[in-house]
């Protein structure tokens, strides 16, 4: 059973155990050293921030409790520094002590824990007539997965590589936000999920990265943002990242960040995926 599933709906489990939202400093000094970018017009009135949109969890989520800044584990690709800031949608204030969990595919569209499964789906060898279910892992690999705790400023930072793509999906990174829990032995316990979503990249950046190694080895058809079934728009509330990159050299490190507002009163079990009806090949 996932540690995060121990809390009953409504928070009764945490109350009974006497566990509030407790944050212990990460042992990764780089996370503590993350600089705080200047806030831009943080509102003070309630209910003024648009909520970041919920998006399907997909079939490849694993609750591995890997607290770390660098999630790459040596996977090849253009280096990516990803920063995510959480704000309370009610008052615009930073959200501290939240667990931000991310996972993504590698340059060739493969997810850790699902090498054989994701390759079979990308090649059209595994097809579902309807929504893709939550799938059991076929390996114990953990690359490109991890979580960090937000500081008082609401920020977390990860070091990773630019994701690749797979059949039917634009380039994206999955995100889950957990609150009301406690950090114990570098694992987040007794929490609830208040947001399940995905973040996306501008199309011109993805097109540039697709032309450099190792992404040139990915011969799967590339879905663009505008034709992706889950991409909904070009704002932070839609999950679009702000990026800084060298337009002359897409192999150089990329900086990406997003500030999002979440409903801290929500309890989100995590959607398993609702692709369009009919035979489905891509895994969300």
What per-residue confidence (pLDDT) applies to 187?
87
pLDDT (tens digit, 9 = 90+) per residue, 116-147? 999 999 999 998 888 888 899 999 999 999 99
Cβ partners under 8 Å of residue 2, min gap 6: 63
* Mean pLDDT of all residues belonging to the chain: 81
Lowest-pLDDT range of 101-105, 129-133, 273-277: 273-277
Question: What residue has token string 């990242």?
Answer: 241
- Tell the burial category of 124 from Cβ atoms under 10 Å away from its Cβ (0-12, 13-18, 19+): exposed
Check whether 13 has a pLDDT greater than 90.
Answer: no
pLDDT (tens digit, 9 = 90+) per residue, 145-179? 999 999 999 999 999 999 999 999 999 999 999 99
For residue 175, the 8-state DSSP code is: E
Domains (ranges, CATH) in the chain?
3-36+47-280 (2.60.130.10)
CA distance 282 to 103: 16
pLDDT (tens digit, 9 = 90+) per residue, 227-238? 999 999 999 999
The more confidently predicted of residues 242 and 189 is 242
pLDDT band at residue 2 using 50, 70 and 90 as cut-offs: very low
CA distance 163 to 206: 9
CA distance 230 to 214: 26
Which CB contacts under 8 angstroms, 24+ apart, belong to 22-28?
A: 22/97, 22/181, 22/182, 22/183, 23/96, 23/97, 23/149, 23/183, 24/149, 24/183, 26/67, 26/148, 26/149, 27/186, 28/67, 28/68, 28/69
What per-residue confidence (pLDDT) applies to 277?
33
* Total count of residues recorded for the chain: 284
Rounded to a whole number, what is the distance in angstroms from the first to the last CA of the chain?
23
Tokens of 71: 């999630």
Tokens of 214: 């190792």
What per-residue confidence (pLDDT) applies to 269?
58
SS3 240: strand
Check whether 275 has a pLDDT greater than 70.
Answer: no
Check whether 8 has a pLDDT greater than 80.
Answer: no
pLDDT (tens digit, 9 = 90+) per residue, 178-215? 999 989 888 898 889 999 999 999 999 999 999 999 99
């Amino acid at each position: 059973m996932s540690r995060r599933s121990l809390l009953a709906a409504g928070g009764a489990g945490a109350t009974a155990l006497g566990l509030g939202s407790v944050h212990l400093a990460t042992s990764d000094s780089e996370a503590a050293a993350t600089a705080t970018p200047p806030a831009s017009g943080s509102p003070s009135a309630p209910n003024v921030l648009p909520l970041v949109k919920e998006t399907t969890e997909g079939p490849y989520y694993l609750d591995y409790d890997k607290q770390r800044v660098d999630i790459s584990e040596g996977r090849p690709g253009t280096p990516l520094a990803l920063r995510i800031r959480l704000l309370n949608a009610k008052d615009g204030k930073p959200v501290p002590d939240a667990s931000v969990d991310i996972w993504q595919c590698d340059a060739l569209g493969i997810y850790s824990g699902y090498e054989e499964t994701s390759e079979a789906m990308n090649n059209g060898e595994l097809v579902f007539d309807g929504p893709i279910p939550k799938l059991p892992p076929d390996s114990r690999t953990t690359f490109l997965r991890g979580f960090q705790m937000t500081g008082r400023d609401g920020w977390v930072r990860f070091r990773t590589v630019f994701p690749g793509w797979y059949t039917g999906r634009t380039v994206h990174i999955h995100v889950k936000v957990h609150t009301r829990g406690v950090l114990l032995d570098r694992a987040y316990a007794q929490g609830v999920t208040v947001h399940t979503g995905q973040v996306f990249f501008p199309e011109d950046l993805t097109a540039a990265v697709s032309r450099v190694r190792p992404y040139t080895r990915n011969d799967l058809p590339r879905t663009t943002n505008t034709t992706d079934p889950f991409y909904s728009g070009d704002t932070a509330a839609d999950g679009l990242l702000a990026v800084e990159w060298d337009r002359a050299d897409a192999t150089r490190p990329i900086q990406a960040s997003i500030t999002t507002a979440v409903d801290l009163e929500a309890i989100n079990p995590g959607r398993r995926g609702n692709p369009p009806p009919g035979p489905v090949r891509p895994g969300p």
